[in-house]
Structure 1
Amino acid sequence: MRRFNLSYTQRIGALDESFLGTGRPLGQARLLHEIGSRERGGKGAAQDEAGVDGVLAQDLRERLGLDSGYLSRLLRALTADGLLDLAPDSEDRRRRRIRLTAAGRRAWQDLENRSEERAGVLLEPLTGRQRTRLAEALDTAELLIRAATVRLETVDPASPAARAAVRTYLDELDARFPEHDAPPMPTPQDENAFRPPAGAFVLAISDGSAVAGGGWRDHDGAAEIKRMWVDAGWRGAGMGRRLLEHLEGLARAQGYRLARLDTNAALTEAIALYERAGYRRIERYNDNPHATHFYEKPLA
């Protein structure tokens, strides 16, 4: 890991005082790239009069893992160069919304062009087969590095982020089981069951976005694992196992000594996960019409 970091940072120019010859250090260039990419991708909130998305400073800080002081210094430097406009957010004036100026958009495009050129120079000596191998290896490395740095956060089950995760989970069930009506969104009473101390709802956060989620709640004295979901792009990175173990640990810390869960026979990946984790088949213990398989596991 350390050898790769040393080799890679040298070859992409991360050690240069002027990253890719732009006249800016890597920190400023990385922030400029993020703002421009989010504007182009439509990930900001409201658009300005020119139709350009703005980016919240808070979102940048969470996505890039920067402390407030360092982010403020980077923003001041780019603003002083005429590349950014900073203004209070129209919905909450305590927050700052950041937009690229016309000069900033030109600088962003120049950075993109230079990055593409550097990548082309690095790949030019490789054969097509070698390039394919490298792309596959980098995809795997990126996924696993991101998985290793995911944060597991207990959140309010009624929060917008939790509800969005549950909505994604239910939409996937609806797509995979078209012969059945998808379960409805949880009611406030349902959500309350996932609040501590007799429950919890957890999201796995990467770059400021939820990539997995799930919860547990009391069910006749056992901790019932519910709503386990992993984003399709994150499957194969061990997120399901990590989330399951985390939920078990939260329940164990509250004195629960038995975990239960249900699933459907068509969800073969979930069944394999649960059985590898030590769950054993039991008789039906609830009236969930979508469930065909029922499991339990001692938590002692």
Structure 2
Amino acid sequence: MTTEQVERVRRFNRTVAERIGVLHDRYLGGARPYGQARLLWQIGDEGPHDIRGVRARLGLDSGYVSRLLRALERDGLVAVEPHPRDRRVRTVRLTEAGRRERALLNDRSDALATALLAPLDARQRDRLTSAMAEVERLLTASVVSVDVLDPGHPDAAYCLRSYAAELQELFEGGFDPAHSLLPDPGELRAPRGLFLVARLHGEPVGCAGLKLPAGAPAEIKRLWVHPRARGLGLARRLLSELEERAARHGCDVVRLDTNQALEAATRLYRGSGYAEVPAFNDEPYAHHWFEKRLTPGTR
């Protein structure tokens, strides 16, 4: 990234902060600052919610969230209670007064959005809202984390179950993991391989595995992205991360196979420099086999 790009981001942040009113002690002319108002909105009308999940969604530390909740609870807007099945877990829900204040916040937020758009003509409004949608998508992509996990980790297991369930729906005749050449979990653990899991706001939204067999090309397995995280460039990011890690392990070739029903995946592989090659395994669910030669500095 360049110095100019960093400065553009900073200017954008300052402009947004000024225009949406987060600098004021009383957000949207209400009785509380932005942090309390945002938390009140995040809790929502439905509940109760696990406080840890709310905190992860907002990316806030536990001490700050506790202070915000105490202020809201003192004003009678939320109720903080132990989870009925696990008293170690705290939950939060809106009270009736909290729901009324949240409804008022929604009305005032609509009014603020209308005021931002009102001075613009129809073409400018379309440009602004389209740009906002793109910024939202890219900012969301920037908060996705990717970590190496054991394939037996609950988040990894969730991704693999979700992947298999989706293939069951997509493949003609369904998908039976018992008939697939699924890698043994040990093949996706160091030093024989690795398994990546992507998380958005603390929730698993994607995965990809890499086999690193001795004396053979690296092989990518089980690349999957949750439907709600598609459009963020995550599949390409996972693919690039595996390629980089394969190169770091001294591999100069990486392979993968895919099913004809996975058209988006096939387009991704072709667009990422993979060339179709003859079958290199007996995977019964594969119709296409791809290979890519890695170069120093592959990313």
The TM-score, its normalising length taken from structure 2, stands at: 0.84
Choose the corresponding residue for 2:16, options 8, 13, 31: 8
The 8 Å contact of residues 148 and 197 in structure 2, kept in 1 or not, is answered as yes
Aligned partners of 2:234 and 2:161: how far apart in 1? Answer: 19
Match of 2:191 among 194, 197, 204: 197
Q: Give the 3-state SS of the residue equivalent to 1:193 in structure 2.
A: helix
Do residues 181 (structure 1) and 138 (structure 2) align? no
Deviation per residue, 1:102-125 (Å, 9 max, x gap): 221212111111111211222223
Could you say which residue in structure 2 is the equivalent of 1:284?
Answer: 279
Tell me the CA shift for residue 81 of structure 1.
Answer: 1.4
SS of 2:120's equivalent? Answer: coil
Q: Which runs of 5+ in 2 are unaligned?
A: 1-8
Equivalent position of 1:151 in the other structure: 145
Corresponding residue for 1:21? Answer: 29
* Stretch of structure 1 that moved more, 158-167 or 54-63: 158-167
Q: Which ranges of structure 1 fall in alignment gaps of 5 or more residues?
A: 41-52
Matches within 5 A, 1:108-257: 108-177=102-171, 179-184=172-177, 190-219=184-213, 221-254=216-249, 256-257=251-252
What secondary structure, in the 3-state scheme, does the structure 1 residue paired with 2:188 have? coil
CA gap of 1:272–1:159, structure 2 versus 1, over 3 A, is same
Residue 41 of structure 2 is matched in structure 1 by: 33
Say if 1:156 and 1:162, in contact at 8 Å, map to a contact too.
Answer: yes
Shift of residue 88 of structure 1? Answer: 2.0
Count of residues paired in the alignment: 285
1:270-290 deviation digits (Å, cap 9, x = unpaired): 233223433333221211122
Offset at residue 13 of structure 1 (A): 0.8
Equivalent of 1:274, from 269, 273, 286? Answer: 269
Partner Cα separation in structure 1 for residue 274 and residue 232 of structure 2: 21
- Rounded Cα–Cα distance in structure 2 between residues aligned with 1:104 and 1:200: 46
Q: Is the 8 A contact 2:256 2:290 kept in 1?
A: yes
- For 1:194 and 1:65, the matched residues in 2 are separated by 30
Matched AA of 1:292: H
Q: Could you say which residue in structure 1 is the equivalent of 2:5?
A: none
* Pairing partner for 1:68 from 40, 48, 62: 62
